[in-house]
Structure 1
């Protein structure tokens, strides 16, 4: 936890900087529109995932360490080969798990968040899951275990393998010649994120495109078929916590509503998007039928609200940075309390992004809890030793965020609702 937290103190500002550079390039050089809310939602999703990973909120049914202890057949001694085998094994595992997430209803829930943006950019690379608490597919690392690759090697290579998937989430890099035959490129991954019928559920590779070519899931980006991004059942929210569990909730409702006992069981393991016939007839699905003619999710936002959301986003980044750098000092249960507070903060301000009047209730709840934590601990999670002013800043923030959210809910969102009702 502590080591990964330290890695994130370096990686997080770098990712944020690269996202902003890409946006600036698109805005000034390509004259593309700057979709700030979509970008903030994506980056905020990255917040939630990083908190989950740092806290270690997942377990593995079959641990890699156990596999190495019991199943190693031949131990590779060469340092270079150990790391190469680890990297290739992780990539094959990534391909297989990725393909299953696109193929089976239950597993799609943990991956839908990554595809939920209707834009394709570096920010959407950070839309990662918090809804997977049990790892079922460590078995796919069997090749590395048979060759005796140590767990610590996997632990080192895994973050590098993950971070190496960031760069190709962009529309600003075209085809890359010979590299198109070897590695996953932006062109390959644009296909993967597209909802065009020609592109759906293709190119599952993470670093090497060879897996898709071997297993029949490869599709080249076609010059006359521009990719359209998103998911066929639109998320229609900026709240990443809601998006993470939308598909699961949809499956639960369908399993409850169907009259077929067989369908109540098999819905979880059927191909992604499958629904019981009786439920589909009574509750038609709202899906994008024509990828070239649909309205993207974009609630109108005033400039003052946009400024405020940016403030909330950056303030949360500051709280996260303190968390990543000091998690070892927090201990249990405070590190989980802090992580929960981050989630509540994110839920509150992304509800405001959605123009949900209940954003005020979530904001008030968050700030009451914040005051209570300072009262109980005597300061903000031990910050007074290094930052004597931190608790005062946090309390001022709680007051300010309550007041500002009240203003937007009462004088913007509520008045807008009245106008719609009168119309």
Structure 2
């Protein structure tokens, strides 16, 4: 396991500890900071982002390393404090422009939108990350390579910038005085995540909010206008695959309907929401209305507990997946990644009460129980210990047996259905 993965591995328990503290503080204040379905969806999208990251390192770090080796104007020492400080400052500056373009260019918004889809604002929202951002985000950091910032320095300052932004995703910390005027803070970032006209597309800074003040994109949070979170085209789904694909899909459909080739291209390059006149006339969309309620389909309590337990198991598997990333074969990693993503998608469908989800989930847990026991192996592990195989079979076998009972509607749900 290399340095970035090691840091993320050690940071993850701290993330969950802080989430627990935030949950406790909110409860003591009489606030509801979390919804189980939303938090699982956000963390699940973070899992998928980490899984994708295992396969995208060659693209992101590989291109950077090549540019630093062949295009660097200077040879900067990796043991200089000034190099590290300058690299962090320049990285945060580049991040500002990546983040800003992510709100002003539809192709980049298609990736970044994942981070904004949650209608709640808490520390789990910080973990809600895109799976497709790696495709173009590396372009914005090439100035560091051209200036000769060593790969090791680049990777670490990128992690510092990312980890800093975790704590600002909370409503439990208020104004911080002078700190709010210099740094990205919870107050500044709450405004960034809001869909209110006053706050829309503001406060892009990662560590420093100074960039927003310099380039005219800063807005202060107003106590008289609380932020309303989400996007202006609400996701209204717990499907992590659709969360990553929705803007790409809608843009591709509009591009297909557009009559002029110029408009087909501009749909990807214009700001989010822009549509050619002919497309808007033939396929109108309703105007944005400030949401009055959050997406929260009812789920039986027993089924939600089941989903939470299965989600916890998948988090444990993800930790194992990330740990074996440097040693397992590509085929094993791809198979494991597919299993994890498919499993998270099925759990999302269960929380949406899709009719097919119970059957697919039953098949998933049944195969998870039987295959390790029968084959004596697990993803990347050729010879699985018999006791571990038996434990897997017991846990998932019991899940398969319990699932049909958990999915039954309660008597109150049945009465409500009959009334409708």
- Counterparts of 1:135 and 1:286 in 2: how far apart (Å)? 31
- Equivalent residues of 1:118, 1:230 under 8 A apart: yes
SS for the counterpart of 2:354 is coil
CA distance in 2, matches of 1:159, 1:122: 17
The equivalent of 2:328 in structure 1 is 330
5+ residue gaps, structure 1, are none
Query: What is the alpha-carbon distance in structure 2 between the residues aligned to residue 89 and residue 151 of structure 1?
Result: 14
* Contact 1:344/1:366 (8 A) holds in 2: no
TM-score, normalised by the number of residues in structure 2: 0.90
Contact 2:174/2:187, CA 8 A, preserved across alignment = yes
The CA RMSD measured in Å over matched residues stands at 2.8
Aligned length: 419
* Counterpart among 308, 311, 315 of residue 310 in structure 1: 308
- Once the two structures are superposed, the pairs formed by residues 6-405 of structure 1 within 5 Å of their partners are 6-32=6-32, 34-56=34-56, 59-60=59-60, 63-77=63-77, 79-135=80-136, 137-142=138-143, 144-286=144-286, 288-289=288-289, 291=290, 293-367=291-365, 370=368, 374=372, 378-381=376-379, 388-405=386-403
Distance in 1 (CA, whole Å) between partners of 2:419 and 2:103 is: 44
User: Structure 2 unaligned runs (5+)?
Assistant: none
Aligned with 1:176: secondary structure?
Answer: coil
Contact 2:111 2:130 in 1 (8 A): yes
Q: Distance in 2 between matches of 1:356 and 1:35?
A: 19
SS in 1 for 2:196: coil
Cα distance in 2 for partners of 1:385, 1:226 equals: 56
Q: Deviation at 1:184?
A: 0.3
Q: Is the 8 A contact 2:33 2:120 kept in 1?
A: no
Q: What is the Cα deviation at residue 329 of structure 1?
A: 3.6
The two structures have a TM-score, normalised by structure 1, of: 0.90
Q: Is the 8 A contact 2:329 2:380 kept in 1?
A: no
Cα 1:380–1:301 change in 2 (3 A) is same
Separation in 1 of the partners of 2:111 and 2:302? 34
Superposition deviation, residue 90 in structure 1: 1.4
| Distance in structure 2 (CA, Å) of the matches to 1:296 and 1:34 | 12
Distance of 1:362 and 1:286 partners within structure 2:
35
Contact 1:58 1:132 in 2 (8 A): no
1:412 corresponds in structure 2 to 409
CA distance in 2, matches of 1:19, 1:83: 30
Per-residue CA distance 1:157-198 (angstroms, 9 max, x = gap): 222221111000011111111112211011110010000001
Would you say the 8 A contact 1:117–1:229 is kept in 2?
yes
CA offset digits 1:327-372 (Å, max 9, x no partner): 3342221122111111111111111011111213432453465468
1:148 Cα shift? 2.0
CA contact (8 A) 2:377 2:383 kept: no
Asked if the contact 2:64/2:145 (under 8 Å) is kept, the reply is yes
Any conservation in 2 of the 1:345–1:366 contact (CA below 8 Å)?
Answer: yes
Distance in 1 of aligned mates of 2:84 and 2:59: 24
The answer to whether the 8 A contact 2:4-2:155 is kept is: no
Question: 1:323–1:362: structure 2 CA closer, same or farther, 3 Å change rule?
Answer: same
